[in-house]
Amino acid sequence: MTLWSGRFRAGLNSLASILNNSLPVDKRLYVEDIRGSQAWARALAAAGVLTPNEADTLVNGLHSVLDEIESGTFQFTENDEDIHTAVERRLTEFVGPVGGKLHTGRSRNDQVATDFRLWLLEASERLDQAVQSLQKALLHRAETDIDVILPGYTHFQQAQPILFSHWWLSHLWPLQRDRERLQQLTKRAAVLPLGSGALAGTTFPIDRAALAGDLGFAAPSPNSLDAVSDRDFAAEFLFWAALTGVHLSRLSEALILYSTVEYGFVTMDDAYSTGSSLMPQKKNPDMLELTRGKSGVLNGLLTGLLTTLKGLPSAYDKDLQEDKTAVFEAADIMDVLLPVMEGVISTLKVNPERCRSAIHPAILATDLADYLVARGIPFRSAHEAVGKAVRLAEEKGESLATLPLKDYQTIHPAFAEDLYTALSLEASVNRRSVYGGTALEAVEEQIEVAKKAIG
């Protein structure tokens, strides 16, 4: 028998029942549902709706239900539409008719919204720690690879030399913003819907502020209509997951390229690589490719929920049953991606010689332009002169470092013998010592800032 069967003469169509049943998805909310129900029982007793003995009976009975579910002996039935129905049904089997009093003044509308928020708050804390662990792996790489110089790219063409440490840290800071977003959304999620009823609030004198404190929420919701329909926290969580997935995908894309034979900047550890069923020599970066692929899945989950939400009027609509599927899947994906990426970063091998040998001599062209600027030449003129030098070196099969001084001076008279001192990778890197730059001094400072930021 369903919780609402009194109004109906006939049961639900069998296929409609399958469509309506959310138990396969929301049964993972059992801990939160029982916590919320125990707090509700205490709140009903505080309001004089239940006697203290009745509340104790309900709280203890709910403990018994929890023990059964966690031990694997709980038996779900075909009439259990959702986790709320299943818990209340089994509670009543344990404690008798008093079990029917638990739902007094409460709706599944405010109940599921409360359960979902409780679950998301716990998941967010866990995922924040996972992002932090990945950041620490990146930070360790930055400290370990502090002396390695590699080509920096724009438009995926060699641009200027940078420290590999600077590159690692460039992937740490997006994750810091991801953590900040996650922490901000949990503040907005920490609002208690329970006590809102189906849409209009409960008629019983529940102290909702005390109830919020009992469950660890910051405050009760100020509007009952909004409380049962608000899924901003779910959409924000999916946005967080999607954007974090984008950041992981960008890191993965670069490492996939850097691990190829053509680049050889890094070598993937066997524990995070796979082979080919046909080609014995293959060592594939499948974990990085899967991370890149999961980013598309996460984007789809966000788009799906936003599309569901956009057409809903006020209060609760059954469409909202789909919210948990998306959020649970996103959380499950991130629970795997984050530690896998941490493992990839921690175990890969950097190949300093390959990084350095891949640097094209023309990468120091900007330094040569800056050399002319230091001699009083306007930057635009310096830029043009060095561009001509690059072209001439290419035509003569030379590099900027081997192009003769007389050739330089045919381009611009400001070139002098000391121009070759500008054509040093270490000097190029270390000239960029501004805060946030790639110079060793600046990167060491950035590492200290990062340590304080990530905690």
For β-strands 219-220 and 191-192, DSSP reports them as parallel
Are 388 and 403 spatial neighbours (Cβ–Cβ below 8 Å)? no
CB 266 within 8 A of CB 351: yes
Which tokens is 415 given? 């070139």
Length of the chain: 455
Neighbours of 142 (CB within 10 A): 24
Helical spans, DSSP H, in 145-283:
164-189, 208-215, 224-229, 232-258
Close Cβ partners of 115 (under 8 Å, ≥ 6 residues apart): 26, 29, 32, 33, 36, 83, 84
β-sheet bridge partners, residue 430: none
- The Cα 116–Cα 324 span in angstroms is 8
* Residue numbers annotated as active site: 155, 276
- Output the CA angle 178-182-183, nearest 5 degrees: 120
Helix (H, G, I), strand (E, B) or coil at 72: coil
